[in-house]
Structure 1
């Protein structure tokens, strides 16, 4: 959306009968982003990363598309909810992170239908021990297991680490050893391998106003893609020599093309690109359409050139910095005050557009990360064309919170 006045007018008119704070989901933009992810995936199925969506109706809408299949959940409790009931969101849910939730493990191992639909992530025999401590192998259904292969780039004998600190399993030999540990224990079935290259998928390759950093990042990413392609293929082959794998998962919104080019990968993962938050503005390979925006009301005019909106402290996770703050986009020309930032109960904004705002007007923002905006609102009001068509409940709106 560009602010030529029409974008703001469209949003204000469509939501005129609603009181902010509120969030809008532009269905046209969502569908366009989903189509672009499918194009970039080059025919590989995309597993939807639910942490970047956090709304069951949105997940259902995306999974109805031919290019998407399965869910990558972020907690076991969430996975059980998505896979449970008579009308599950998906009957193929992989938990993207290891779990230590004993209550959820009891629910998984106490329901054969759930155990058949949900796959746990492990990177250590300790995770298997925890499952066994909750329910002994002979007293539970077989538990599906996926191995988490560390996809970070390591150099200088391991002294340089680029990427996130996830799994201790980095080499093909370590992956094969863990595979043997899984298959050698009763009550488990090894079905998958995952390697998420965060340093490629989740780091801007063209950060705005920082051309030298962009050049360095692109060099790092090219090196990482080459290194990981060989290591992931070797790890997949080593694990396949131990067990028949159903899938090898990789990638993220920022790395679909390069991950899809790896023949060892059978499926991709993506979610953030569906909403296209501001952290994904700084990529060279693609440009999404902002699909989710939220509005806050003007409640004060403390000085010329300044207004204050209610709330606003919708700060994204990750390293603290300006890029984690929400961005005011409509009307154009507003910025946060450096000494206050995004406040818990109020946020001052400065700029030429402030003098045209009155108490009760609204300011539209984009969030820095995708699904986290859903933690602040009970529904996403759905917009098609110039009118609201309804509302999709968020996890919060359904009374669910998964951390």
Structure 2
């Protein structure tokens, strides 16, 4: 048995699986590595990749991290309320996706403490209109951040070939400046930031394991990064001629090196690099340690070479492909069955290592994405050395569901 598997089994022997754990040493090492890679730029923590308040608070108290990139306005309001009266009171929280939640907008407008620390995302005047409809024309000042589409359109910027996430309609510096001017001309709004997530670099590993595909991908990412650096700098320059910006946020776990090289970017975003899910196993420049894992018990031995685990059907969001399924981690030498994959009530694992498993043993797996496992478990058992040091709730464990 490997030392890591032995340590995990020993630490959790008093607990019945299914269960999820945080290897705190790996989490802290991942945090230190993100700060090293950021090379002096502050890292804003993407809460969607964490979804556990204990872990968010732990990393925010480390040097090199500043602020939260929240994924919904209700989440931002909840975090701000929970942190009131603590050393994290007033933490800058940027909501990374536009909100159409009228109730949450009214709650934001009704508390000056929230309005001073939370900014909402916009990418069109439609979002300004919606805020006005929710709050009335004479609403208090709301902090807003403008999202720039930072995908790559190699055919002279035309949206015929589009590499990256389909997010903001604001693509050019001129469009960004026009939206900024619209914000400045609307009473009740204050433009404080610019954000762009280059998913075609930050979320796509540049070492997919196939030589030609890897070379083509790295070529595309290099050219995308170069084009983006010029376009983002132009957008920042044009907006700054109208009003000063408090922050320009860019990047993600997979693009820290390229994004930090842009003078226009004042801070970086990251979250998945703290957790180390399988989606980030294929990068050449960094290798996060698996910090969050889950264990499933062996409940059947149908025949040689197969062990059947209880539960485990935790697919990740995104395109329906095999790489969206959880992956057996320990013991080494196991893989999912191609016919069954990961099932709601059972997950067969196959491979020579299955022959050493007995009914009642546990198999440790990793999720494809960083934060989505927290939707499946109400608590994480935090492991230090070979013991569970504490058990902490996930968002689900605190009866919070923001997705």
TM-score bracket for this pair, using the shorter chain length? over 0.9
Following the alignment from structure 1 to structure 2, what is the Cα–Cα distance between the partners of residues 387 and 87? 32
Query: What SS does structure 1 have at the residue aligned with 2:166?
Result: coil
- Of 6-15 and 79-88, more deviation after overlay is shown by 79-88
Alignment of structure 1 residues 194-343 onto 2, 5 Å: 194-207=195-208, 209-343=209-343
1:318-355, CA deviations, whole angstroms, 9 ceiling, x for partnerless residues? Answer: 11111111111111111111111111111111111212
Shift of 1:112: 1.7
Instruction: Give the TM-score of the pair, scaled to structure 2.
Output: 0.97
Following the alignment from structure 1 to structure 2, what is the Cα–Cα distance between the partners of residues 398 and 217? 41
Shift of 1:141: 2.1
Shift of 1:96: 0.4
**Cα pair 1:149 1:194 within 8 Å, conserved:** yes
1:258-282, CA deviations, whole angstroms, 9 ceiling, x for partnerless residues? Answer: 1111000001100000011111110
Runs of 5+ unmatched residues, structure 1: none
Query: What SS does structure 2 have at the residue aligned with 1:312?
Result: coil
Query: What SS does structure 1 have at the residue aligned with 2:284?
Result: coil
Following the alignment from structure 1 to structure 2, what is the Cα–Cα distance between the partners of residues 336 and 53? 26
TM superposition outliers: structure 1 runs of 4+ over 6 Å: none
Following the alignment from structure 1 to structure 2, what is the Cα–Cα distance between the partners of residues 158 and 381? 46
Following the alignment from structure 2 to structure 1, what is the Cα–Cα distance between the partners of residues 65 and 400? 24
Instruction: Give the TM-score of the pair, scaled to structure 1.
Output: 0.97
Shift of 1:87: 3.8
Following the alignment from structure 1 to structure 2, what is the Cα–Cα distance between the partners of residues 82 and 125? 27
Query: What SS does structure 1 have at the residue aligned with 2:153?
Result: strand
Alignment of structure 1 residues 95-174 onto 2, 5 Å: 95-138=95-138, 140-156=139-155, 157-174=158-175
Instruction: Please give the root-mean-square deviation of Cα atoms over the aligned residues, in Å.
Output: 1.1
Residue 181 of structure 1: aligned partner: 182
1:136-179, CA deviations, whole angstroms, 9 ceiling, x for partnerless residues? Answer: 242x3210000000000002233111111100000000000000
Alignment equivalent of 1:19, drawn from 16, 23, 45: 16
Shift of 1:392: 2.0
**Cα pair 1:47 1:70 within 8 Å, conserved:** yes
**Cα pair 1:379 1:394 within 8 Å, conserved:** yes
Alignment equivalent of 2:52, drawn from 40, 50, 55: 55
Following the alignment from structure 1 to structure 2, what is the Cα–Cα distance between the partners of residues 216 and 384? 42
Query: What SS does structure 2 have at the residue aligned with 1:153?
Result: coil
1:203-241, CA deviations, whole angstroms, 9 ceiling, x for partnerless residues? Answer: 01001x322211111001100110000000000011111
1:116-154, CA deviations, whole angstroms, 9 ceiling, x for partnerless residues? Answer: 11100000000011100011242x321000000000000
Runs of 5+ unmatched residues, structure 2: none
- The count of corresponding residues between Structure 1 and Structure 2 is 398
**Cα pair 1:21 1:296 within 8 Å, conserved:** yes
Following the alignment from structure 1 to structure 2, what is the Cα–Cα distance between the partners of residues 357 and 16? 16
**Cα pair 1:378 1:393 within 8 Å, conserved:** yes
1:176-212, CA deviations, whole angstroms, 9 ceiling, x for partnerless residues? Answer: 00001101000000000011111010001001x3222
